[in-house]
């Protein structure tokens, strides 16, 4: 068995279009993303994942902590570029350091979205899945800042996952020009030039047709086994199963899924808190990197 690990990492930030980017990159005939887009092998403690937040029993068993299992996700693939889309890598510099040790030429992509909108999106998704216990985003923020979520999986720590400037300051010395930062707004507004530029950064031909992925990462309640199998299981399995179902059933399932998404109340208090929290970080991004992430009022 080859010990080769992926050479492309879509490392973050969560809820910023990373699944969209991973799938679009993998549409190139010489690129591959494994069925489990976010294996989270790097950064796993030796004893495996043991988060104890809501829904973490599901994640603990899904994320990969065994090296042989991780390598098997890419075994016998002939493509030049192998993609790992584990978004929490952006906030785990020790994990990135280990990747660079094993794969010095690895390329990293980071997608940044207005951190206030990112936090709202993550919170709304978790509420829609029935996993987030806090009735308002501001309550979840208070819990996190008080340390009551320190043992929960990173996705439920909404403030932490939006501190982009500090994370990039740790990654850049390790990665240099192999770190590529995209803005969520640019990726969504003009996906084709963004994808072609990413292919060029990976040393791939950019004259291939760009395939725009359909809606991604809008998952239903993970407690429903059938719908979990259809919509939360690995991407290629999900597509294969859906392709064999009657179209009417698939459309009804999609409609049910959409109806389960929670909408966040106009939580001005949470928004203002987050803007205050991120003010210095956003100034750092603008001054040091020329990256402006506009926040809606």
pLDDT of 171-224, one tens digit each? 999 999 999 999 999 999 999 999 999 999 999 999 999 998 875 554 433 344
Q: Are residues 87 and 36 in the same domain?
A: yes
Q: Are residues 37 and 56 in the same domain?
A: yes
Within-domain flag for 2: no
Q: Are residues 167 and 131 in the same domain?
A: yes
Q: Are residues 76 and 119 in the same domain?
A: yes
- Cα of 258 vs its chain's centroid, Å: 20
Can you give the pLDDT at residue 120? 96
Q: Are residues 102 and 137 in the same domain?
A: yes
Structural domain containing residue 163: 8-217+267-289
Per DSSP bridges, beta strands 8-12 and 81-84 are parallel
Can you give the pLDDT at residue 157? 96
Q: Are residues 50 and 147 in the same domain?
A: yes
Q: Are residues 134 and 234 in the same domain?
A: no
- The number of domains in the chain is 2
DSSP E strands, the chain: 8-12, 31-33, 81-84, 107-112, 179-183
Within-domain flag for 49: yes
Within-domain flag for 1: no
Within-domain flag for 294: no
Q: Are residues 89 and 227 in the same domain?
A: no
Q: Are residues 136 and 177 in the same domain?
A: yes
CA pair distance 193, 24, nearest whole angstrom: 12
DSSP one-letter string for 62-79: HS---HHHHHHTTTT---
pLDDT along the chain (297 residues), means of 10: 83 93 96 92 89 89 92 95 95 96 97 96 92 95 97 96 95 97 94 97 96 63 38 42 52 48 65 95 93 73
């Amino acid at each position: 068995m080859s010990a080769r690990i992926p050479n492309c990492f879509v490392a973050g930030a969560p809820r910023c279009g990373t699944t969209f980017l991973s799938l679009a990159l993998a549409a190139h005939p010489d690129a591959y993303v494994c069925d489990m887009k976010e294996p989270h092998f790097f950064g796993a403690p030796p004893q495996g994942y043991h988060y104890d937040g809501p829904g973490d029993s599901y994640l603990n068993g899904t994320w990969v902590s065994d090296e042989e299992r991780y390598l098997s996700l890419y075994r016998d693939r002939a493509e030049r570029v192998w993609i790992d889309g584990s978004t929490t890598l952006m906030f785990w510099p020790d994990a990135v350091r280990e990747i660079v040790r094993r794969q010095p030429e690895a390329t990293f992509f980071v997608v940044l979205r207005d951190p206030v909108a990112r936090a709202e999106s993550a919170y709304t998704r978790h509420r829609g899945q029935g996993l987030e216990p806090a009735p308002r985003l501001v309550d979840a923020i208070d819990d996190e800042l008080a340390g009551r979520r320190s043992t929960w999986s990173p996705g439920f720590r909404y403030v932490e996952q939006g501190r982009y400037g500090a994370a990039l300051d740790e990654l850049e010395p390790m990665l240099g020009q192999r770190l590529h930062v995209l803005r969520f707004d640019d990726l969504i507004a003009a996906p084709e030039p963004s994808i072609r530029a990413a292919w060029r950064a990976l040393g791939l031909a950019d004259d291939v047709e760009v395939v725009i992925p359909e809606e991604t990462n809008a998952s239903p309640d993970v407690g429903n086994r059938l719908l979990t199998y259809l919509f939360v299981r690995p991407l290629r399995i999900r597509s294969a199963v859906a392709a064999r179902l009657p179209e009417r059933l698939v459309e009804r399932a999609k409609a049910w899924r959409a109806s389960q998404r929670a909408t966040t109340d106009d939580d001005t208090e949470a928004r203002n808190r987050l803007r205050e929290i991120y003010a210095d970080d956003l100034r750092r991004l603008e001054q040091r990197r020329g990256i402006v992430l506009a926040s809606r009022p």
